[in-house]
Amino acid sequence: MKSRQAGFTMIELIVVIVILGVLAATALPKFIDMKSDAQAASVAGVAGAAASAMNLNYAGCALTGNVVTANKCVKVSACADASGLLQGGLPTGYTLGGTDPGTTNGSTSTCTVTGGGQTSNFTAIAAGN
């Protein structure tokens, strides 16, 4: 009786390797692009935190009659003032810029956060002036 070997032929193995190569080539660009997506999300998060801090500060200043008060109202008249409102300050690698809201309490302007080659906008609001 003749024994027959079991297993895959060389052609079947090559076809599987080619299919895996094609799948890897189509998926690879998506994974490479994730770095810029992560940087954009990070900058947007810092911008959101800055906008939230500005709004909370404005609310605290409204309660104190726009009198600068420790832990309640901080003077804000420039985009860069958002750094002092964030717990721990502005994270390393990020910069603030844009149009300053000025010294009229309640006036708003558009400020920008830049980091990692990405930029995101937030609304600044003047308070404590």
CB 42 within 8 A of CB 114: no
Pairing of strands 108-115, 118-125: antiparallel
Residues 87 and 75: their CA atoms lie apart, in Å, by: 16
pLDDT for res 16: 93
pLDDT at 31 exceeding the cut of 90: no
Q: Closest by alpha carbon to 127, among 99, 108, 113? A: 108
Model pLDDT for residues 70-85, shown as the tens digit of each residue: 889 999 999 999 999 9
- Say whether pLDDT at 18 is over 70: yes
Q: Is residue 47 part of a domain?
A: yes
Domain that holds residue 64: 43-126
Average pLDDT over residues 98-104: 93
As for how many domains the chain has, the answer is 1
Q: Check: CB of residue 33 under 8 Å from CB of residue 41.
A: no
Residues 63 and 48: their CA atoms lie apart, in Å, by 23
pLDDT at residue 29, rounded to an integer: 77
- Which residues does residue 114 pair with via DSSP β-bridges, in sequence order? 95, 119
Nearest to 75 by CA among 11, 32, 120, 129: 129
* Residue 28 placed within a domain: no
For residue 27, being part of any structural domain is answered with no
CA–CA dist 113, 127 (Å, integer): 20
Q: Over 80: is that where the pLDDT of 33 sits?
A: no
Read off the pLDDT of each residue in 87-98 and give the average, rounded to a whole number: 93
Is the per-residue pLDDT at 124 higher than 90? Answer: yes
Would you say residue 99 lies in a domain? Answer: yes
Assess contact for 78 and 68: CB atoms under 8 A: no
20, part of any domain: no
Q: Specify if 66 maps to a domain.
A: yes
